[in-house]
Structure 1
Amino acid sequence: MTRAFIFPGQGSQTVGMGRELAEAYASAREVFDEVNDALGQNLTKLMWDGPQDDLTLTENAQPAIMAVSLAVVRTLEKEGGFDLASKAAFVAGHSLGEYSALAAAGAFTLSDAARLLKIRGQAMQRAVPVGAGAMAAVLGLEYEAAAEVAAEAAQGEVCAAANDNGGGQVVVSGAKAAVERAIEIAKTKGAKRSMLLPVSAPFHCALMQPAADEMAEALAAVVLKMPAVPLVANVTASRVADPASIRQLLVEQVTGMVRWRETVLYMEAQGVGSYVEVGAGKALSGMVKRIASDPEILSVGTPADVEAVLKTL
């Protein structure tokens, strides 16, 4: 069965993430040590001991989530002789998960991925003053209807669909007042529920342009190789392997919508029936179940998961 490896985004961070992997496998410990060294920060202490509020800060959460995903990949490789290029047709990631996917496929070094995500997190936080922007989940409306809600709510301010997660789950992002208007308008359009999300900035909308500019500069300074497995990009929901194109799409991704529903549908149309979610949590597995028709889904984030997946793959 054709398989894709998928990598989670922000929101899957929890205190204790990755600790069991590090205790069980030297290969996982090496990944965490390398990330700590690249950042000049004891990120693993924060990941394992908290506090949760500090771990949730964008500049910490992004490299931490990537580190857990790559610790899993490195462990699969070293413990089980796993080779991504022979096991997967595609990789894909949700927002920051694209960096994890690309590092797993060898396009970035682990150290460069960690540094880029630290810069990305800081840039996204700096782009908009705290409290000036917001994001809200709109549940029970499909993408087209939710996008219309955002457009109606904008009233001269920024408000746009930021994540199309499938199954009637769309996240809107923009100026705080506009997002609050979107929540009220969504009620009148038949949304089951709409709620503000506990995020520190309005990601994936035009307000993030200063962060996109910073990422263009940061990405230009790193080596980006052709990935061993094609990426299905958030911005286009189609395959890409050319390094120059990937670099440009990662810049556009900062302000662009995460087209996750279309990404999964694209992979399914290419024959993918099996999805392996790599890293912390199972958020993407839930999304895939809502989007794809009868998918086989594996999640791998703990030593027990590693052992199970090695027997399956």
Structure 2
Amino acid sequence: MSQARNHRIGGASRERLLIVCPGRGTYNAAEWGTLNRLAGGREWLARFDALRDEAGMPTLTELDGETPFRQSLHGRGEHASALIYACAWADLLAIDRERYEVVAVTGNSMGWYIALAAAGALGPDEALHLIGTMGLRMQESLAGGQVIYPWVDEGWRPDWALRRELLALIESTHGREGAELHLSIDLGGMLVFGGNETGLARLTELLPARERFPLRLHQHAAFHTPLQEGVKRAARRELASLPLRAPEVPMIDGRGHVWTPWSTDPERLWNYTLGEQLVAPYDFTAAIRVGVREFAPDRIVIPGPGATLGGATAQALVQLGWKDLDDKAAFQRLQAEEPRLVCMGIAEQREWLLAREPMPSLSA
């Protein structure tokens, strides 16, 4: 690896990391117990628990250990969001900063709120308040829902004609016979649609069956669409004093816009976080594109829980031709030779970021 690209501390180079924070849907039955295993007894988790208890909600320690997993309970916005954040926070704190330099932070959907904490634009307790508040407001309204559908083939090769056809379904469906349908998230090789029940039912009828798709996401509202206008108004009132500040490292939002430590206006950041971000499509693919092109990371790291965001991130990298990737097989070969995409929800990959022994050097 070119030493010029690496920051050096005490004569030792640090690898450059792009952090990609996970969103909803990453804490499921298989992840139950993760938080207590990684952070049980930690002071910050006890503080999170105390804040939850003060708010009249079950603690994260209880949800992750004492209370058997039930999707109807653990999947609720105010619980799922906080559990995901706490698991991700445990992973972020575990990264060896003597060996790794975080050069930028982004996330998918709710992962934007985690990114605010990861980049230092919010303190950890403040981020818990934001995440808990937004999760509760979304759960209370549950305005609309989401359906996900792939537009790449089984080898992750883009089918641009199919993508155009899928996007055209929004225009042909929205506004007809009471249907509301919007693009919610541009998620690597998948499109996430948000809409009301009429719009989603009509969409599901039109989409050809493909393995497990179209897939309705459980307990998900129509995030990042105009159906969240009510949530936006409530959140702006309730979180008017949210103490956002300039980040310590650059953040990439759901438009691909970069918020830097030296140019961020906290008021504009508040307006985006509790404004456009809630009611306009979230372009996760653009965030990844900007992250790899503008910050040239050596590795891309996805904190846990789980590893479901890994596929979408890898698909975005294939679309970009990053490291000459052109399909799923090429990505798998790269990972086998020298993993560049590290999912901390996979135990053996998490260990790579904790190990003190030097990893094999990357090729230039």
Letter in 1 for 2:191: V
Instruction: Report the secondary structure of 2:24's partner residue.
Output: coil
Residues 139-178 of structure 1: pairs in structure 2 closer than 5 A: 139-140=150-151, 143-156=163-176, 157-167=179-189, 169-178=190-199
Specify every segment of 5 or more residues in structure 1 that has no aligned partner in the other structure, as ranges. Answer: none
**How many residue pairs end up in the alignment?**
298
Q: Which residue of 2 aligns with 1:182?
A: 203
Residues 48-63 of structure 1: pairs in structure 2 closer than 5 A: 48=65, 49-53=67-71, 54-63=73-82
Q: Which residue of 1 aligns with 2:305?
A: 280
Instruction: Report the secondary structure of 2:148's partner residue.
Output: strand
Bigger share in helix: 1
When residues 284 and 205 of structure 1 are mapped into structure 2, their CA distance, relative to the original with a 3 A threshold, is: same
When residues 300 and 128 of structure 1 are mapped into structure 2, their CA distance, relative to the original with a 3 A threshold, is: closer
Deviation of 1:98 after TM superposition, in Å, equals 1.2
Identify the range of structure 1 (202-211 vs 39-48) with the bigger mean alpha-carbon deviation. 39-48
Distance in 2 separating the partners of 1:98 and 1:83? 25
Pick the aligned partner of 1:88 from 102, 105, 109: 102
Deviation of 1:215 after TM superposition, in Å, equals 2.1
Pick the aligned partner of 1:19 from 32, 36, 47: 36
Q: Which residue of 1 aligns with 2:344?
A: 300
Deviation of 1:147 after TM superposition, in Å, equals 2.4
Letter in 1 for 2:280: G
When residues 192 and 304 of structure 1 are mapped into structure 2, their CA distance, relative to the original with a 3 A threshold, is: closer
Distance in 1 separating the partners of 2:273 and 2:165? 27
Structure 1 length as normaliser, TM-score? 0.86
Structure 2 length as normaliser, TM-score? 0.74
Are 2:183 and 2:191, in contact at CA under 8 Å, matched by a contact in 1? yes
Deviations 1:122-180 (A, max 9, x none): 21123346xxx22111223655432221221223432101111122x101011111111
Q: Which residue of 2 aligns with 1:44?
A: 61
Instruction: Report the secondary structure of 1:89's partner residue.
Output: strand
When residues 175 and 47 of structure 1 are mapped into structure 2, their CA distance, relative to the original with a 3 A threshold, is: same
2:288 is equivalent to residue 267 of structure 1: no
Deviation of 1:263 after TM superposition, in Å, equals 1.1
Residues 104-253 of structure 1: pairs in structure 2 closer than 5 A: 104-128=118-142, 133-140=144-151, 143-156=163-176, 157-167=179-189, 169-187=190-208, 193-234=213-254, 236-241=255-260, 242=264, 243-251=266-274, 252-253=276-277
Instruction: Report the secondary structure of 2:192's partner residue.
Output: strand
Distance in 2 separating the partners of 1:268 and 1:250? 23
When residues 194 and 304 of structure 1 are mapped into structure 2, their CA distance, relative to the original with a 3 A threshold, is: closer
Distance in 2 separating the partners of 1:147 and 1:239? 26
Q: Which residue of 2 aligns with 1:72?
A: 91
When residues 191 and 55 of structure 1 are mapped into structure 2, their CA distance, relative to the original with a 3 A threshold, is: closer
Distance in 2 separating the partners of 1:9 and 1:135? 14
Instruction: Report the secondary structure of 1:272's partner residue.
Output: coil
Q: Percent identity?
A: 21
Distance in 2 separating the partners of 1:73 and 1:195? 30
When residues 297 and 73 of structure 1 are mapped into structure 2, their CA distance, relative to the original with a 3 A threshold, is: same
When residues 302 and 137 of structure 1 are mapped into structure 2, their CA distance, relative to the original with a 3 A threshold, is: closer
Distance in 1 separating the partners of 2:204 and 2:49? 40
Q: Rg larger in 1 or in 2?
A: 2
Distance in 2 separating the partners of 1:220 and 1:108? 14
When residues 180 and 191 of structure 1 are mapped into structure 2, their CA distance, relative to the original with a 3 A threshold, is: farther
Q: Which residue of 1 aligns with 2:46?
A: 33
Identify the range of structure 1 (194-203 vs 58-67) with the bigger mean alpha-carbon deviation. 194-203
Distance in 1 separating the partners of 2:273 and 2:21? 15
Cα RMSD for the two superposed structures: 2.6
